[in-house]
Amino acid sequence: MSTLFDLTGKVALLTGASKGMGLAMATALAEHGATVVISARKQDQLDEAAAGINALGKGTAHAVACNVGYKEQLLALVDKTHELAGPIDVVIGNAGVNPYYGKTSEIPDDAYQKTMNANVQSNLWLAQMVAPDMVAKGAGSMAFTSSIGAFKPSVMLGTYGMSKLALIGLVRNLAAEFGPKGIRFNAICPGLVKTEFARELWDNPEVAKRIEEEIPLRRLGDPDDFAGLAVFLASDASKYMTGQALTVCGGSNMWT
């Protein structure tokens, strides 16, 4: 059997992983042998998610609550991960926020700061905290969830898109800095996925139908569509890939 996607003995830390895409990615990593530490803000949802993963009988899941907007909570998450599972081999930063729907020119300061803090700064903090584990091993993979919103302007979701473009910039810089140490950084850029986070964008049959007709694969994304990508990025299957933005959108956004 091929060991290309084998994650046995690997420790993976995921943020924004109590449901949706994050949970789908965590489950897939565990199924391929990883010990996963999942985090989000609500402990009860995390406990339920971890129990579901552990019931599969493959890898092991631990649940640690954390609000990524606070540096001290992230540090506590990394410390707890070390305590529960050991040095970290894989990071998937999937937590993100979108507190404001409206024109970028009219965004209140607090909403702007919250968006940039959670979507960009928190992932830099996480990278700074975990990099020493990976430098010590001479290997490691970090992936952060960006968005197709990074690729084009939007009148109503513009600041969210700006934060996700900045996140791709962060990924590229970290890839350049840590490449010589064997650490890889990549961005995952989903199209519209049927998650709670994006519910307002798809939970209307007419809107969903119109969007689906613009997508070559004729459907919205499902959280499970990201399971294989997470395993690919976490494993040796992607060992020569770093600094990239991988677009998973059913073809709605193509390179032009």
Q: What are phi and psi of 92, to 5 degrees?
A: -125, 110
Residue numbers of the domain that contains 95? 11-248
Number of domains in the chain: 1
Whether 4 maps to a domain, the answer reads: no
Identify the pLDDT of residue 11: 98
* Unique residue bearing structure tokens 């073809």: 251
Identify the pLDDT of residue 64: 98
Whether 205 maps to a domain, the answer reads: yes
Per-residue pLDDT of the chain (256 residues; tens, 9 = 90+): 679 999 999 999 999 999 999 999 999 999 999 999 999 999 999 999 999 999 999 999 999 999 999 999 999 999 999 999 999 999 999 999 999 999 999 999 999 999 999 999 999 999 999 999 999 999 999 999 999 999 999 999 999 999 999 999 999 999 999 999 999 999 999 999 988 888 877 788 888 888 899 999 999 999 999 999 999 999 999 999 999 999 999 999 998 7
Identify the pLDDT of residue 201: 74
Whether 132 maps to a domain, the answer reads: yes
**Which active-site residues does the annotation give?**
160
Residue 247 pairs in a beta bridge with 189
Whether 221 maps to a domain, the answer reads: yes
Helix and strand counts by DSSP (H, E) for the chain: 9, 7
Identify the pLDDT of residue 202: 77
Whether 256 maps to a domain, the answer reads: no
- In CATH, what number is assigned to the domain containing residue 226? 3.40.50.720
Three-class SS string for 44-86? HHHHHHHHHHHCCCCCCEEECCCCCCCHHHHHHHHHHHHHHHC
